[in-house]
Amino acid sequence: MAKYTKLETLQAMKETGMVPVFYHKDVEVAKKVLEACYDGGVRAFEFTNRGDFAQEVFAELVKYANENLPGMIVGIGSIVDPGTAAMYIQLGANFVVGPLFNPAIAPICNRRLIPYCPGCGSVTEVGMAQEAGCDVCKVFPGDVLGPAFVKGLRAPMPWSQVMVTGGVKPTQENLEGWFKAGVTCVGMGSNLFPKDVIAAGEWNKIAGLCRSALEIIKNVR
C-alpha cells in the first residue's frame, strides 16, 4: 500500500514542480536512476508501465525507495485500465498516471486515497476528470498542445492543477513557457535521461540535470 498520503504526494509534486518519468527493464539501473534523481532534489518519481514484467521492477523500486530514500514518493505511469492500476497500488504505488482518462480508474484510486493524474487533451476531458476527483490532470501530449492550451484552459477554470508531459525540456526558455502558462508541475522523461549517460552509468550527470531543472523551475515561478 502507499506509504505517503494523498496530500503529501500532491504537495511534493507542487513544491518541487517536476516529476521525472522513467522506465528501464533492469532493476539495478532503475535504482541508480532513482537515487540520482533523489540526490538531485527530486521527491516525486514516475516509473512507467512500459515493458514486460515492469511490475516486478516497480515492486523492487518501491521497496528500495522506502528503505533508503526518505521522502522519495514513487508512483506508476502509463496506466490505462483499472485492473492494472489496482495491481500497482497493491505493490505500493503512491500515485497513478495515465496517457488518457479512464473514468473506471478514478474510483480504484479514490478508494485508497491515491492521486490519479489522467492524460487529458481537451478542456472537456479535464472537467470530467475533475468531476471524478482528479486533483491534478496531466496535459498530454504537451508538445502537441503547447503552453497556450494550459493558459487557455486556466482562464475559465483557474482552479485547475495541471501537470504537463511531453515536450518538456530542462531549459530556461521551455520551463519558463510552461510555468508562465500556469502549470502546477511538469513531467520530464528522455531529456533528463540521455541514453548515452544511462549506458555509461554516469549517475552524477543525471543528478546534475535534475538539480539544474529544479533550480530553473524555482526561478521562473
**Residue-by-residue pLDDT tens, the chain, 221 positions:** 999 999 999 999 999 999 999 999 999 999 999 999 999 999 999 999 999 999 999 999 999 999 999 999 999 999 999 999 999 999 999 999 999 999 999 999 999 999 999 999 999 999 999 999 999 999 999 999 999 999 999 999 999 999 999 999 999 999 999 999 999 999 999 999 999 999 999 999 999 999 999 999 999 99
C-alpha 165/C-alpha 154 separation (Å) is 17
pLDDT at 198: 97
- CB-CB neighbours of 180 under 10 Å: 13
pLDDT at 124: 98
- The domain 6-216 is placed in CATH, from the list 3.40.640.10, 3.20.20.70, 3.40.50.970, 3.60.10.10, at 3.20.20.70
User: Long-range pairs for 204-208 at CB < 8 Å and ≥24 separation?
Assistant: 204/36, 206/33, 206/36, 206/37, 206/40, 207/36, 207/37, 207/39, 207/40, 208/40
Crossing angle of the two packed helices 27-39 and 54-68, in degrees rounded to 10:
40
C-alpha 196/C-alpha 209 separation (Å) is 14
pLDDT at 186: 98
C-alpha 100/C-alpha 121 separation (Å) is 8
pLDDT at 221: 93
What's the whole-model pTM score? 0.97
Crossing angle of the two packed helices 203-220 and 172-181, in degrees rounded to 10:
40
pLDDT at 115: 98
